[in-house]
Amino acid sequence: MQAEKEEEEAFPEEYVALCDFTASGSEQLGFSTGDKLLVHAKPSADWWWAELQGVIGYVPASYLRQDAAEDEEDTSLEDPWQDDEYFGSYGTLRLHLEMLSDRSRTETYRQVIVSNSASLRNKVVMDLGCGTGIISLFCAQLAQPSVVYAVEASSMAEHTRQLVKQNGCEEVVTVLQGRAEELELPEQADILVSEWMGNCLLFEFMVESVLLARDRWLRDGGVMWPSSAALTLVPCQADSYYSEKMAFWERPYGLDFTPLQPLAQQEFFTKPKFSHLIDPKDCLSAPCDVICLNMYTVQVRDLEEMEGEFKFCVVKPGVFHGFTAWFTVQFESLEAGGATVELDTGPNSDPTHWKQTLFMLDNPIHVYGGDSIRGNIVLHRNPVWRRHMTVTLHWNINSSSDNCQVGTKSFPMWR
Ligand SMILES: N=C(N)NC/C=C/[C@H]1O[C@@H](n2cnc3c(N)ncnc32)[C@H](O)[C@@H]1O
C-alpha cells in the first residue's frame, strides 16, 4: 500500500514533448514539439496517460522527456536559446567561411560602407555579431569612424582580435566578447550594423538581440543597418523536387512503390526545404512582400507572431507545387536623400548562401493564367525553442476552370 501511495504522490509529472505527435484514435492525445504535458499514469512502458490543456489521452512515452524542472543537472540541455550549440557552431570557421564566401552578401555590406564613408567620419559604430570582423574591418579600412565596437559572443572573438591587429585596425576597432544584449558598451553608438538575417529572414531569431541592443545602445537619431527588411513570397512550380521525392515511388525498376508516398510526404514535405534555388521561370506569378520590418520601430514582442496577406495572379498555366520565400534588406544612406543600398536574396539576384526556402504542398494543384491565389502567411515563434518558428500558410485558389480550392499547411522550422 505504501509504495502505491508514494507512486500516487509522484503524479502528475511534467514532461516536454520532443517532437510533434498526431493522435490516431479518439483515446490518443496529439501534441506539438515543446508542449508541456502532465503525465497522470504510466500503465505501460510505451503508452502513458497524460493531459494537455485540459484534454486527456494516451501519448507515446518515447516522444517525451522529463521536464528540466524535475532534473536540475539537465537544465543546460534545456536552454531555450540553445546558446551552447548556437555559439559553438560560430566558434568554428565553417559558417564564417560560408558567409565570407557569399560575395553578394559581403560585397553589399562593403558597398554600404563605401557609399557612406564620408558620413562615417568620427562616428561610433556597433557591429553586432561581427564574426571574423569583416564589417568592422571594412569600416576601419574604407572610412574613418572614431571607433567600431565589434561584438561577438562566440570563441571566434579572440581570433577576430588577432585579425584586427593583423590588418592594422586596432586603433579603431575594439573587439568585445559577449552577448550584445548583456555586455556593457563604453558609449552609445551612432550606427548599429549587423548581419543577423536567417533563413526566411527570421530563423535563429538573432534579430531579437539586434532590437535589444538598439533599445539599449543606439543613441536617439542613430542609424540601423539594415534599416528595413522584407519577407517575399511567390507561388511556384517545383517539378524536379516533386519528381525526385514523390513521383519516384510510382515505378522504380518497374515496381509499384506508391504505398511509400505518404511516408515520403511526411519525410520530405513536412518541413521547409532550405537552400532551394528556384528558377525564375518556376514562379507562377509576380512575388509579393508579405512581411515588412521597420528596424527602428519593430518590437521584440512583435516577433512572437508575424502575419502577412498575399494575393497572387497566376500569369501562366502550370503546377502549383508550393510557395518559395526569400528576403530583402535595405540600408538607408547616412546622408539625407542619399541612395539606399539593398541586398536581395531572391531568384532575380546573384545567389547568396541563404538561397531561397521552398514550402511544398501535400498535393500539387493545376493552375491557369488568370487564376488568383489569395491567403496569408503566419510566422509563429516557438514558445519553448526561441530560435525556431512555425510557418503556416492559408490559400484560396479562385479558378475560372474549376471551383475554388482552399488549403492550409504548417511547417515547423525546425521544432
Ligand atoms: N546571419 C545569421 N543568421 N548569422 C550570422 C551572424 C552570426 C554571428 O553573430 C554572432 N552572434 C549572434 N547573436 C549574437 C549576440 N546576441 N551577441 C553577440 N554575437 C552574436 C554569432 O556568434 C555569429 O558569429
Instruction: Check if the interface score ipTM surpasses 0.90.
Output: yes
pLDDT of residue 54: 83
The ligand 1 atom at the shortest distance from the C-alpha of residue 151 is 18
Q: Are 119 and 94 in contact (CB under 8 A)?
A: no
- pLDDT at position 33 is 85
Tell me, what's the pLDDT at 76? Answer: 42
Which residues have any ligand 1 atom within 6 Å of their CB?
A: 87, 90, 129, 131, 151-154, 156, 179-181, 195-198, 204, 206, 209
In this structure, the residue with its CA closest to atom 15 of ligand 1 is 179
CB proximity list for 346: less than 8 A, separation 6 or greater: 232, 287, 326, 328, 356
CA 48 to chain centre: 34
Rounded to whole angstroms, the Cα distance separating 173 from 19 reads: 44
Q: What is the pLDDT of residue 3?
A: 54
Task: Say if CB 205 and CB 386 are below 8 A apart.
Answer: yes
Contact 71, 13 (CB under 8 A): no
Task: Give yes or no for a contact between 388 and 412, defined as CB atoms under 8 angstroms apart.
Answer: yes
Catalytic residue among 181, 195, 208, 332: 195
Is 7 assigned a catalytic role? no
Residue nearest to atom 12 of ligand 1 (CA): 129
Task: Output the residue whose Cα is nearest ligand 1's atom 10.
Answer: 129
Selection from 407, 415, 362 nearest residue 386 by Cα: 415
What is the pTM (predicted TM-score) of this model? 0.83
Residue with CA closest to ligand 1 atom 5: 196
Question: What are the backbone angles phi and psi of residue 292, rounded to the nearest 5°?
Answer: -120, 135
How far is it, in rounded angstroms, from Cα 135 to Cα 196? 12
Q: Maximum Cα–Cα distance for the chain, whole Å?
A: 82
Could you tell me the mean pLDDT of each successive run of 10 residues in the chain, 415 residues long?
A: 56 87 88 90 88 89 72 55 92 96 98 98 98 98 98 98 98 98 96 97 97 98 98 98 98 98 96 96 98 98 98 97 98 96 98 98 95 98 93 95 87 91
Known catalytic membership, residue 195: yes
DSSP assignment of 216-255: HHEEEEEEEES-EEEEEEEEE--HHHHHHHTGGGGSGGG-
Cα gap 349→202, rounded to integer Å = 20
Name the E strands within 209-353.
218-225, 228-236, 273-276, 288-294, 305-313, 318-331, 341-344
Contacts of 145 (CB under 8 A, 6+ apart): 120, 121, 122, 123, 124, 125, 139, 172, 191
Is residue 129 within 8 Å of 194, Cβ to Cβ?
yes
